[in-house]
Amino acid sequence: MRKKLIIVTMILFGAVFLSACAGGAVRGMSWPGLATDGQTAYLADGPFVYAVNLSDGTELWRYPGSRNGKLTFYSAPAITPDGLVIVGSAGTDHSLIALKPDPKTSVPVEAWKFTGAKDHWVAAPLVLNNKLFAVNSDGNLYILDLQDGQSVKDATVVKLDGRLWAQPTTDGERVYVTSLDHSVIAVNAETHEVVWHEDLGGAVPGSAILGPDGMLYVGSLASKLEKFDPATGNHQPVLDAENWIWSTPSLDGDTLYFGDVDGNLYSFNTSSGKLNWKPVKPDGPITANPLVQNDHVLIATESGSIFAVGNDGKVLWTQQIGGKIYTTPVAAGDLTIVSPLETDFYLAALDVNGRQVWTFTPKN
């Protein structure tokens, strides 16, 4: 009898433990996506997308109005010139949803919904000339016409490879897509044909960025920063990092800032092809893109800190937010908005000196 009790107890313990594994300790399956239009912060975080008033940190609306088991969000929303908030779901229905905020209600209207993808949406879509370039974990680039909401069902599908987790980049002529299958792909923005497809030897979870020299720069899990000729795809490594480069480099003049998962911040001069200074090592792994400000760059770390690093590599100030920060902070006027994990609040707004102005915690 005692044996039976022990076995049944272990089975129940195992079931509970396994169930706990599926959810994880964080709010959603991954870190939240964050965007702003200067007035409102849009946070895609687990079961909801929240719109938060930047002036006081209050909730304007959330989508969906109540929990929907098929929907979960962590890709950063994209905001179109006409005010649509477009966000992809990492839930089971794989939908890409365009939300139109309605001042009369606390729930935005679904302007349209695209359900033609087969996997999770991790990356924010790119808006270019009334077209939406959206990449999905199923390895496809979906091109949707923003002018006609009905035509989203007939999206142009460009079959690429691997899981596509980063927002595409464009120079207006081509759209550059990075893939976890180790490649960078250039697609003609008009004809939608693949112009070139190059292997980097490591997965690319971040986006490419166009440098002031007209070249394309990409970091990868091969721990290298690569420089591409955007016309031909010819490329070469220009810097070896200490570990995986997760973040998308941020551009300030002719300098690229980027971090690695060992916690190093690099300042790479695209003109000289050299580092401006020895890498700064704040206090934890860096997955968020550096945020370039007037005379400094803000770095968010997994240790829950924000570091302001000057152009000379000196730390100007630090602010301990708490929790873990993986999401790229966004700037809105004098505010910097940060979204940590494993904290009671979902958003924190900092002023130019790093002082906390408000925090946002959803009700219910």
Binding-site ranges for another protein (CB under 8 A): 1-4, 6-7, 10-11, 13-15, 17-19, 21-22, 24, 26, 29-31, 74, 90, 120, 122, 137, 162-163, 165, 180-182, 201-203, 205, 221-223, 243-244, 246, 261, 285, 287, 326
To another protein, the closest distance from the beta carbon of 26 in angstroms equals 7
Provide, rounded to whole angstroms, the least separation between the CB of residue 119 and another protein.
9
Kindly tell me which of 135 and 349 has the beta carbon lying closer to another protein.
135
Residues 6 or more apart whose Cβ sits within 8 Å of residue 242: 223, 260, 262, 264, 279
- Rounded CA-CA distance 158/113 in Å is 19
Q: Which is nearer to another protein, 77 or 354 (CB)?
A: 77
Contact 100, 83 (CB under 8 A): yes
- Tell the smallest beta-carbon distance from residue 256 to another protein (Å): 21
Asked whether the beta carbons of 39 and 54 are under 8 A apart, the reply is yes
Return the number of the residue (101 or 202) whose C-beta is nearest another protein. Answer: 202
**How many angstroms separate the CA atoms of 261 and 265, rounded?**
10
Residue 44: CB minimum distance to another protein, A: 13
d(CA 216, CA 208) in angstroms, rounded, equals 6
- 17 vs 344 by CB, closer to another protein: 17
Query: What is the C-alpha to C-alpha distance for residues 224 and 302, in angstroms, rounded to an integer?
Result: 21
Least distance in angstroms from the C-beta of 207 to another protein: 13
Nearer to another protein, 17 or 236 (CB): 17
What is Dmax (Cα atoms) for the chain? 77
Considering only CA atoms, which of 65, 108, 66, 70 is closest in space to residue 88?
Answer: 70
Q: Tell me the closest approach of the beta carbon of residue 116 to another protein, in angstroms.
A: 17
Specify the 3-state DSSP secondary structure of 3.
helix
Q: In this complex, which beta carbon is closest to another protein, that of residue 19 or of residue 191? A: 19
| 185, two tokens | 């792909």
Between 30 and 255, name the residue whose CB sits nearer to another protein.
Answer: 30
Q: Quote the DSSP letter at residue 32.
A: P
Helix (H, G, I), strand (E, B) or coil at 151: helix
Shortest spacing between CB 243 and another protein, in angstroms: 8
**Euclidean distance between CA atoms 221 and 292, whole angstroms:** 23
